[in-house]
Amino acid sequence: MSNESPADAPLVLDEALASFDALWSPRIVTRVNDYDVRVAKAEGEHIWHVHDHTDEFFLVLDGELRISLREPGGERTVRLPKGAVFTVPRGTEHKPHAPSGAAFLMLEPSGTPTVGDRHDDVPDHVDATTGHALHT
């Protein structure tokens, strides 16, 4: 048996992901300074949204995540296979989607809402949250 407290113990991301089934409902796995490290599962589409004051970092852990972006030159979609990273710049309207399912890690300031600062109505399948505690 270890004398490590849960905050001092290593966390296995596969085990963290296996501890919940909810889609588009991130779990906070740790904090780094004033940032949350969150993991989430996704399938289907999120919503168009924007974070006015922060970038949003994605690391795909499993599957494939696509992120559509509305930029001054038009709309484009980036494809992120397992192992890929991408940062959505602050102020960029974007919509993550995972047609075949994905698991990913995000890094963003604590308290950042998953549906951004400006968005349309949030459908029932998208959790409007600032991240949930991880219960493993």
Can you list the residues of the chain whose pLDDT is less than 50?
1-5
pLDDT of res. 14: 94
pLDDT digits (tens, 9 = 90+) for 4-13: 445 678 999 9
Spans of all domains in the chain: 13-113
Taking the model in full, what pTM does it have?
0.85
Tokens of 20: 């919940």
φ and ψ of 47, to 5 deg: -125, 160
| CB < 8 Å & 24+ apart, contacts of 18-25 | 19/134, 19/135, 19/136, 20/134, 20/135, 22/127, 23/125, 24/114, 24/125, 24/126, 24/127, 25/127, 25/129, 25/132
| 13-113 CATH choice from 3.30.420.40, 3.90.550.10, 2.120.10.30, 2.60.120.10 | 2.60.120.10
Strands 132-133 and 27-32, by their bridges, are parallel
pLDDT digits (tens, 9 = 90+) for 93-117: 999 999 999 999 999 999 887 766 6
